[in-house]
Amino acid sequence: MSKFRLTDKVAVITGGGRGIGAKISEIFAESGAIVHLLDLNPDNATAVARSIRAKGNRAEVHGVDVSDQASMVRTMDLIARQEGRIDILINNAGIAQVGKLEDTSEADFDRVFQVNVKGVYNSMYAVLLHMKKQKSGVILNMGSIASELGLPDRFGYSMSKGAVLTMSYTVAKDYIADGIRCNIISPARIHTPFVDEFIAGNYPGKESEMFEALSKTQPIGRMGKPEEVANLALYLSSDEASFITGTNFPIDGGFIKLNT
Residue among 182, 168, 84 nearest 121 (CA): 168
The answer to whether 169 is a known catalytic residue is no
- CA–CA dist 177, 140 (Å, integer): 17
- Between CA 256 and CA 253 the distance in angstroms is 8
Q: Output the CA–CA distances (angstroms, integers) from residue 78 to 84, 150, 210, 220, in the order listed.
A: 10, 38, 44, 43
Choice among 121, 157, 175, 235 that is catalytic? 157
Q: Are 145 and 187 in contact (CB under 8 A)?
A: yes
First-residue to last-residue Cα distance in the chain = 41
Give the number of other Cβ atoms within 10 Å of residue 164's Cβ.
25
Query: Which phi and psi angles does 220 have, rounded to 5°?
Result: -70, -15
For residue 100, the tally of other CB atoms under 10 A from its CB is 11
User: Where in the sequence numbering do the catalytic residues fall?
Assistant: 157
